[in-house]
Structure 1
Amino acid sequence: MSQLPGNEKYSNWTRKQLIEKLLFYESKLEENTLNSTNSQIILTKKVDKKNKKSTSARPFDWSKYSIRSIALKIAYLGWNYSGFASQGNEDDFPSIEGHLFKALLNAKLIADPSDCNFSKCGRTDKGVSGLGQVVSLDVRSNLPKNTSSDITNNKKIEEVPYIDTLNRLLPDDIRILAWAPVDKDFSARFNCKSRKYKYFFVRGNLDIELMREAANRFLGTHDFRNFCKVDGSKQITNFERTILEARIDPVQYKHQDNPLEFREFYVFNLRGTAFLWHQVRFMMSILFLIGQKLESPSIIDNLLDITKTPAKPNYEMASEIPLVLYDCEFDNLEWQYGRDSGTSFNTLSRLYKHVYGQWYIHTTKSLVYSTLLYDLGEMSLNQLMQNEMKEQNTQNKSLKDFVYSDNNIITSSTNASTSIILGGGKEHRIRNYVKISNKKTCDTAESKNEKYKVKRIKLDNNEIET
C-alpha cells in the first residue's frame, strides 16, 4: 500500500509517539481557538462601548438658557409643498412649517413645537409661495435670565445667530430673511394689520383696462362668501372682509430672451386686513373671465350682493402657481438682518448669493423652455393646418400668431371651443361657455354649516355607543 505524500517522516514512529503528537496538536488548536474568541469578545466590547457613547449623548440642558419671544420673516417657494401649515404627515404631505419646526428642533432653539407659543400670519395653500410670511414663537436665547437687556456688566451679549443657524438647516427653497424681538403676548396672526398678495400673469389678449375697472369694485368691506371655499368644519358665519388695495400693474422688470415679446407680465396687487380660504384665487378667476370679455365687470357687484347671489356659483378658481403672500404689515417691528447690526452685511450677502444661485437654476430652465417655445412658434401654419381649417385667414401666419391672435376661439368643421384662462399657464377648454349667473350654485354657507353640525352629532353619538 502506497503512503500519502508528506507522511514519510511518520512511517517509523511507534503508536505511542503518534498519539502524543496528536494530543499536542489538539491542545495547540484549543489554545488558538480560545485566544481568537477572547480577542473577538474584547473587540465587540470596544465597539459596543463606542456605540453606547455615541447613542447616549448628554441631553441638552435647557435650564442654562433663557427664552425670548421673536418674530421671523420667511420666504419660500411653495410649489413643492402641500401648504405652509403642517398636516401631521410630513412624508406624504411636506409643509414649510414642518421643515421650519425640524430646523428649530435640530438647532435646539425650541424643545417642543406644541409648547413654543407659535403663531403664523398667513396659512398659504398647496403650491402658493411666500416672500414675506411672518411667524412668532419663543426660542432659546443667549440673554441672561430674567432680563431683556443686551448689556450685562458693561459686556455686550452676542445673541444666537437665528438667521444663519436656521438657513443652514432649511431646504434651498425656504429661507429666513429677518428676525425681530417682540413682546411675550405678540401674535403673528392677531397683531397683523394687513396682508399683501401678488398674483402674476401674462397679458396675452386680456383687456387690462377692463380688469382694472373690475378690480376697483373689490375695494372696501364686503361679504366675500361667493369668492371663497366654505368649510363647514370651521363654522364660519362672518364672511365680511376689507380690501384696502386692488391694483393691476405692469411688472416693472423685463424678461430677456422672451420669444413672445408682446406677452408682457402684469401683477394683481391685493392688500386686505384678512382673507378667506382660496379668496384671492377666486377673485383672480373672475378677473380673468372679465379680461377675456366673457363676463362684464358688473358680475363682481352681483357676487358681492348676497341678496342677488345667496350661494356661490360653481366656477373654477385660478392656479396656485403665480400666487405669492408678499408682505405682512405690523406696527413697531424692528427687523434685524443679522445677529446684530455689525453682522447684517455678511448675513445678507450669504442670503443674496443663495437666492441668486436658485434664480440662476430656474432662469436657465426657463431659457431652455423659451428656446423650444420659439422654435415651435415659428412653424408655418400653411404646413400644419388641415384643409378644412385653411379657410380661416392663416396665410403667412406662424403657429405663435394663430394661438395668441385676438380670436381665441379655435374652430373647425367638427368642433368649436374656447379656453378659460386660469393663470400659471393653465387653461380650461370648453365647448360652450356658461355665464356665471346661469351656473349651478353650491349649497349656501348656512346649509354647509348645518350639514356639518348634523354629521358631527352622528359621529359623536356613534363614538358614545361604541
Structure 2
Amino acid sequence: MINLALRFSYLGDHFSGSQMQPGLRTVEGEFIEACRRIQVFDDWREARFATAGRTDRGVHARRQVCSFLTDLPERAIRVLNRVLPGDIWCTGWAEPPEGFHPRYSARSRTYRYYFFPAPEKIAAMNDAAQVFIGRHDFSSFARSSDRDPERRILAARVFLDGRFAVFEVTAESFLWNMVRRMATVLEAVGNGESDAAEIERLLAEPTEQRVATAPPWGLILWDIDYGMTFDPLQIGGKSERYLASRLRYHAVMACAADRLAPDDRGGV
C-alpha cells in the first residue's frame, strides 16, 4: 500500500465548498465517491484521505492536492479522470516521501484574486500590496478565530491580465477569508478610495471591525509548493467539454457587458 498524492483542479461555481458536508455537493465528497466507484479505497478514513486545505463555496482551484493510501495507485492514475465530474480533473500525480501530508507538508501556498472590471490604479494597487509582505497580525483581515492571527507573506503583486486585474499572494499559510479581505482593500486602493497607509494602519492596529470579504468567484487557489515534482496527467474529455462550455458562456457574458456599457453620449 502506498500513499498516492494527486494534484487536481476544479471550478467552484456548483460546489458548496471543498470540505465534505452532509447532504451538500462538495469537492471532497465528489472526489471520495469517484475513488469508491473505481475501488481504489472503500473507507476514506482508513485510506487517510486528506487535502491541502479548504476552499469556500464558489472558490476555484488550479492546483489543489490530496493524498490517500491505496493498493491500486495505477488504477487511480489511469481511471479517476474518467469518473470524476466535469468540474473536477486531476492534472498530476506523485509518490511522496514518507510522512507526507498535503496540508502540513506544504512549504507555501499561492492564491490569485481576479478583479473584473479592472480598477484604474493598478500601479497604486501593486505598491499597496507590498505592505503585506513580511510577518504581520492579520486580525483585521480574517474571521474571528482562536487561531494565531500572525502570518508571513512571502510575495505579493498586482498586475493586468487581459481585461482583469490580478492580485497574486504567496504565504506559508493563510487565515480563513484572509485573501478575499486583502483583495477588498486593494480594490479600494485601485478605485482611489483608500491607500497603502490605510493597509499599514490595519496591520499595525488591528480592530474588531473586520474588513469586508470580496466575492468568492474571483478567488483561485493557484499553486502549492512541496518541493517535489508531479508527473502530468491528461484531463478527461468530460472536463475538456465542460471547460469549453464555461469559456463560451463567459465570452458571451463579456460581450453582453460591452454592449450594455454606457456610450460616449451617456446612453446605454
TM-score, length-normalised on structure 2? 0.92
* Identity value in percent: 28
Structure 2 unmatched runs, 5+: none
Higher strand share: 2
- Report the CA distance shift for 1:290/1:371 in structure 2 as closer, same or farther (over 3 A): closer
Q: Distance in 2 between matches of 1:133 and 1:357?
A: 21
1:144 alignment counterpart: none
1:312 alignment counterpart: 208
Q: Which amino acid aligns with 1:318?
A: A
2:157 alignment counterpart: 247
2:51 alignment counterpart: 120
Contact 2:8-2:88 within 8 A present in 1 as well: yes
Deviation at 1:277, TM superposition (A): 0.5
- Report the CA distance shift for 1:373/1:73 in structure 2 as closer, same or farther (over 3 A): same
- Report the CA distance shift for 1:105/1:353 in structure 2 as closer, same or farther (over 3 A): closer
Q: Does 1:99 align with 2:30?
A: yes
Q: 1:334 aligns with which of 225, 229, 233?
A: 229
Q: Does 1:211 align with 2:162?
A: no
Q: Distance in 2 between matches of 1:337 and 1:228?
A: 35
Tell which structure's C-alpha radius of gyration is larger: 1
Contact 1:83-1:123 within 8 A present in 2 as well: yes
Q: Which amino acid aligns with 1:119?
A: A
Contact 2:58-2:217 within 8 A present in 1 as well: yes
Q: Distance in 2 between matches of 1:134 and 1:106?
A: 20
Q: Distance in 1 between matches of 2:139 and 2:245?
A: 40
Contact 2:141-2:210 within 8 A present in 1 as well: no
- Report the CA distance shift for 1:216/1:203 in structure 2 as closer, same or farther (over 3 A): farther
Q: Does 1:364 align with 2:241?
A: no
- Report the CA distance shift for 1:295/1:312 in structure 2 as closer, same or farther (over 3 A): farther
Map 1:256-267 → 2, pairs under 5 A: 264-267=163-166
Deviation at 1:110, TM superposition (A): 1.1
Q: Distance in 1 between matches of 2:180 and 2:257?
A: 27
Q: 2:187 aligns with which of 279, 288, 291?
A: 288
Q: Does 1:190 align with 2:124?
A: no
Deviation at 1:244, TM superposition (A): 0.7
Higher deviation after alignment, 190-199 or 358-367: 358-367
Q: Distance in 2 between matches of 1:373 and 1:249?
A: 22
1:126-165 per-residue CA deviation (whole Å, 9 max, x = no partner) reads: 1111010011211123xxxxxxxxxxxxxxxxx6242331
Q: Which amino acid aligns with 1:366?
A: H
Contact 1:163-1:177 within 8 A present in 2 as well: no
Map 1:73-222 → 2, pairs under 5 A: 73-87=7-21, 89=22, 91=23, 93-141=24-72, 160-222=74-136
Secondary structure of 2:71's match? Answer: strand
Deviation at 1:205, TM superposition (A): 4.4
1:225 alignment counterpart: 139
Structure 1 unmatched runs, 5+: 1-66, 142-158, 255-263, 339-347, 381-395, 401-466
CA-based RMSD of the aligned residues comes to 2.0
Map 1:48-63 → 2, pairs under 5 A: none
Q: Distance in 2 between matches of 1:109 and 1:184?
A: 20
Q: Distance in 2 between matches of 1:287 and 1:275?
A: 17
Contact 2:89-2:236 within 8 A present in 1 as well: no
1:151-182 per-residue CA deviation (whole Å, 9 max, x = no partner) reads: xxxxxxxx624233111221100011111012
Q: Which amino acid aligns with 1:132?
A: R
Q: Which amino acid aligns with 1:284?
A: A
1:394-430 per-residue CA deviation (whole Å, 9 max, x = no partner) reads: xx51446xxxxxxxxxxxxxxxxxxxxxxxxxxxxxx
Secondary structure of 1:134's match? Answer: strand
1:72 alignment counterpart: 6
Higher helix share: 1
Contact 1:206-1:288 within 8 A present in 2 as well: no
TM-score, length-normalised on structure 1? 0.54
Contact 1:108-1:140 within 8 A present in 2 as well: no
Deviation at 1:122, TM superposition (A): 1.9
- Report the CA distance shift for 1:248/1:179 in structure 2 as closer, same or farther (over 3 A): same
